[in-house]
Amino acid sequence: MKPSKSWAFLYHAILKNKTVYTILIAICIIGFWLFENFYTGKDNPYGAQDAESRLIRNDFLPELIEDRMVRHKHYVLSYSETHEQAEWVAYALKQEHLTHDDRRRPYFIEDPLVTSRSADWRNYKGSGYDRGHLCPAGDRRFSEFAYNETFYTSNIAPQRKDFNAGVWNRLEQQVRQWCKTYGTIYVVTGGILEADLPGIGYEDVTVPEHFFKVVVREENDKVFAMAFLLPHKESQEPLKNFVVSIDFLESQSDLDFFHQMGKDEQNHLEASSRLKEWEF
């Protein structure tokens, strides 16, 4: 029995619409894939920026490689595509930054200013490692924008949970205490990035074996600096046990600190650990 013309019309209409829907779905899937893999727009997903910029002075930074530099409103960094994280992150911490404002933690997202794309946060999922902040979110509670800005994946590195919540956290708290005592503190921090280190996730994000932090302050037109080098494991040792000379840190990291300063001042800052100039 042949179908009526009306049934035949309906049957062909369904087939035609099914083809259209299939094409539309395919276009959406391709568009989403292109956006996820190639979009590096400069629009900031966290909305309007604060009016004041609070960046670290250039002469306190390691030697700059311009195509790796990313300059955010409240910190700057040098991004290593090879290791899928920052070689270093630098920021200024001022006394007025030390607030206890309650901020809602945003999602970690890729950095829109890293043209090669910063690591996907999913690399950390199920890895057993924390998404360890380099510029701490706790140092940027003074504004919602500054706080949210620390959740770019360019500002994190794989850290053991006990390390992140333990000795690394103690060092961050000590920096805040120095800020209360001395005033503005400048910080440069990161992991020691070397070849043949283990990695996590589908992008093979490097897991550093050591992390460093350099703290700098000015007093009466003099500059005081001290460096820490911590093995990537929890420790109950006093923080001063991890103090090293900046010369030694440079030999371990291949970074060149204070390179814009005069040679005499640079040698003075880098040659010794200078514990006596900082109150623990």
The neighbour count for residue 256, using CB atoms within 10 Å, is: 15
- Token readout for 66 is 């311009």
Nearest CA-CA partner of 87 in 67, 101, 104, 73 = 67
SS3 of 136, please? coil
Quick one: how far is CA 145 from the chain centroid? 15
Q: Is 100 a catalytic residue?
A: no
**SS3 (DSSP) at 17:** helix
Give me the amino acid identity at 76. V
Q: What is the dihedral of CA 125, 126, 129, 132, to 10 degrees?
A: 20
Distance CA 164, CA 128 (A): 12
- Write down the catalytic residue from 72, 97, 133, 232: 133
* Contact present, 214 and 227 (Cβ < 8 Å): yes
Residue numbers annotated as active site: 133
